[in-house]
Amino acid sequence: MTTTLSPPRVVPEATTRVRQSLAERVAPYAYIAPFFVLFAIFGLVPLLFTFYVALFDWNPIGEHVFIGFDNFTRLFGDARFWNAAWNTISIWLLSTVPQLLVALVLAHLLNHARLRLAVFFRMSMLVPYITSVAATTIVFAQLFDRDYGLLNWLLGFVGVGPIDFLQSVWGSHTMIAVMVTWRWFGYTTLLYLASLQAVPRTIYEAAAVDGAGAWKQFRHISVPSLRPVIVFTIVTSTIGGLQIFTEPLLVSNAAPLTCGPVRQCQTLTLFLYEQGFGQFQFGYGAAIGVALFVLIIAVATLNYVLSTRIRPERG
Amino acid sequence: MKLRTATPIVLAAALVLTTAACGGGGPAQPSGDGKSFEFWSFSGINQKRTVEDYKKINPSVEVKLTEVGSSTETAQSLTTALAGGKVPDLVLIQGDNLPQFVQQPQNFQDLRQYGADKIKGDYLDWVISQSTAKSGEIIGIPTDVGGMAVAYRTDLFKEAGLPTDRDEVSKLWPTWDAFIETGKKYTAATGKAFVDNAGTSVFYQAVNQGPQKYHDPSGNVVYATSPQVKTAFELAIKSIQAGITAKQSSFEENWIAGMSKGDYAVVSAPSWLLGQIRDYAPDTKGKWDIATIPGGAGNWGGSYLAIPKGAANPKAAWEYISTMQSPQNQLAHFLDVGSLPTTPSVYQDPKLLAEKDPFFSDAPIGKIYTDSLLGLKPFLIGPDSAAIGQEFLNAITNVEQGKGDPATAWDTALANIKTAIGK
């Protein structure tokens, strides 16, 4: 294929144009095809198959009995499912809200014109993000440990003590939320920072000349210009938050699949894993997967609707 | 983002998909070259040692041993492999995980084809019957049984003013109630916890001492009405209320740390736990001793060797089983590592009866553990047994951690079991 700007004169111009525009029309689809082919094989087919399995009492090494929607009926009457749903939402709120607020403030500070070693500080934000989740979890589990934890050791000095974080609902949720926040705040900060860098520095300078302090600059320049990316991070953290898995799995090594004796920090994905791969009720596990899928679609739609309603008012 | 959204579901589904693609029986089985086989074991049971011993007898055979993880993880990996992956030639299955596999015998080689029915008389009746399917297939050969005893710290007992001699200590607790009373004395004298936890050290032991656990002899679940279960549960709650437990969940890091630090003076020790104590707390050598379990006979644990249906080298795997699980080699393994044989013909062997363990103050472990099995009334283990046991344990742990109400714990446990297993 040549990309000559002047086609050979012997060929009628019209024919060449038709041929080129056909190629032009096909080309984009060819370029994006690999993703959709891969998605169909590794995403769509398994997804549809999950819906199918959810209709069975499916023993992985035995019989597959068709039971219709019984798995779903059972699921909605299962207190463990609602407990897991509540835990997931609670951990998500406890981790997302502080994470986004911290990231907002940090991004504003890192964007400051007179910050020395700016690149060093900006890059160091990524360190928690690139650390392995397992490593992070082990370190935090030790910090929060009842008997030998640093946190309880420090609390001992002020006469508080020892708190068994893992055994209580709020304690375990907080502990996991701290880990999630720790891992993601740097990533979010850099997203905000990238967006802030697009804001012309002259606006800040003009505001400073007009007598606006750091807080006013933050409120009236940084936050409004970040609105689209804030919406984006809320959506992504919602999706990520509904799928929290590794942290609750690893904090409780005595009863990992339930995250504690009374499932105090068992999330939806962990419940799915427990039923599917712990108890080998593949059909029931698949039903949980379907419920989770529907939930994520619902929340994502809600987010979309909200984010199109709340448009940044510039001016 | 889209792809990440669906990742866990996709992953689960993909695994399920492979199940569908490869489920069902394979073609006629090859017998392999007889020169090598792949062996999945779980950690903490020291199968490396047995494999090394086998290589001395059969140097030409190559054994690829993989320690998959805990016994539960090994059973999970086996299930996934049976459902659609590459299966090992030989696998070690822990007793509690066995029933779900025995219920689906089509996934395993029927060991009768290699002559298992001719040697089954070598093994304890009630042990081999657990690996025999309803239709008669023998899918596993038992490698060891638990047997029960109590390991205690002589140095800590001395500090508390309790006797340290193992016979006198055994006399302190003929019953579980007496065990709890002894605990109270220890805790009053030292201010420290007596036993590691109520769930595994009291409930799991007491519930395994009787003719009927979670199922009646015809296989119906009776966990809610079985007096044996209720009594064991109440004993566990009682020990928590007596304030003698260290609240350390078994096999967790702090439980391991507490073993050398003396956070608890007593731990219920089925024979396979002795190796773990030696490994986890090497610097406490000589400070431990072994006394009898309150309430007499019982069994916790034990494992089986099985050959999956799709094994590439079943012959070599069977060679290994029949050689290493012969009564003489089980005895040799016991003398080496301490796992109790499943072959009663060696129970009177002078070598077994004379075996003393220096780590445990020269306790005659052979005699103590075989005695704990002799009066045993076998009970049925069903496919739901592990799940039922786990829910009872969770309810007890919750009370122990100060969150659950002792008065309602039993009802909570029953309700949770009903949700979990649906009956």
pLDDT band at residue B17 under the 50/70/90 scheme: very low
Task: Check whether B4 has a pLDDT greater than 50.
Answer: no
Query: How much is the average pLDDT of B93-115?
Result: 93
Q: Do A39 and B4 touch (CB under 8 A)?
A: no
In our burial notation (b when 16+ CB lie closer than 10 A, e otherwise), range A130-151 reads eeeeeebbeebbebbbbbebeb
Question: C-alpha angle A171/A174/A178, rounded to 5°?
Answer: 140
Reported ipTM:
0.80
Residues linked to residue A58 through DSSP beta bridges, in sequence order: A64
d(CA B257, CA A99): 35
CA-based nearest residue to A111, from A121, A102, A101, A124: A121
Domain ranges of chain B: 36-145+302-346, 148-298+362-421
Scan residues 251-290 of A and list those with Cβ closer than 8 Å to B. 253-255, 258, 261-262, 269, 272-273, 276-280, 282, 285-286, 289
pLDDT tens, residue by residue, B360-369: 999 999 999 9
**The predicted structure's pLDDT at residue B299:** 87
Residues linked to residue B6 through DSSP beta bridges, in sequence order: none
C-alpha dist (Å) from residue A111 to A197, A200, A205, A211: 7, 12, 13, 19
pLDDT tens, residue by residue, A106-146: 998 888 877 788 889 888 888 888 888 888 888 898 899 88
State which fold the B36-145+302-346 domain adopts.
D-Maltodextrin-Binding Protein; domain 2 (3.40.190)
- Among the partner-chain residues A53, A78, A80, the one whose CB lies closest to the CB of B16 is A53
The superfamily (CATH) of domain A69-137+165-309 is MetI-like (1.10.3720.10)
Q: Do A50 and B16 touch (CB under 8 A)?
A: yes
pLDDT band at residue B184 under the 50/70/90 scheme: very high
Residue pair A189/A110 in contact (Cβ under 8 Å)? The answer is yes
Scan residues 73-102 of A and list those with Cβ closer than 8 Å to B. 74, 78-80
Task: Check whether B391 has a pLDDT greater than 50.
Answer: yes
pTM above 0.95, yes or no: no
Q: Do B20 and A49 touch (CB under 8 A)?
A: yes
pLDDT tens, residue by residue, B344-356: 999 999 999 999 9
C-alpha dist (Å) from residue B138 to B90, B103, B108, B117, B318: 14, 11, 9, 8, 13
Scan residues 75-104 of B and list those with Cβ closer than 8 Å to A. 76, 79-80, 82-83, 100-101, 103-104
Residue for token pair 């799940």: B387
pLDDT tens, residue by residue, B169-183: 999 999 999 999 999
3-state secondary structure of B303: strand
Residue B401 contacts A where some CB pair is shorter than 8 Å: yes
Q: Do A280 and B6 touch (CB under 8 A)?
A: no
Task: Check whether A315 has a pLDDT greater than 60.
Answer: no
**The predicted structure's pLDDT at residue B194:** 97
Q: Do B249 and A272 touch (CB under 8 A)?
A: no
3-state secondary structure of B218: coil
Q: Do A60 and B82 touch (CB under 8 A)?
A: yes
d(CA B144, CA B338): 10
Query: How much is the average pLDDT of B29-55?
Result: 83
pLDDT band at residue B8 under the 50/70/90 scheme: very low
Better-predicted residue by pLDDT, A252 or B307: B307
Architecture (CATH level 2) of domain B148-298+362-421: 3-Layer(aba) Sandwich (3.40)
Query: How much is the average pLDDT of B391-403?
Result: 92
User: Can B36-145+302-346 and B148-298+362-421 be said to share one CATH topology?
Assistant: yes
Interface with A, mutate which of B16, B98, B411 (most A CBs under 10 A): B16
Q: Do A239 and B4 touch (CB under 8 A)?
A: yes
Residues of A whose CB is below 8 A from B6: 43, 47, 293
Count A/B contacts: CB-CB distance under 8 Å. 117
Domain ranges of chain A: 69-137+165-309
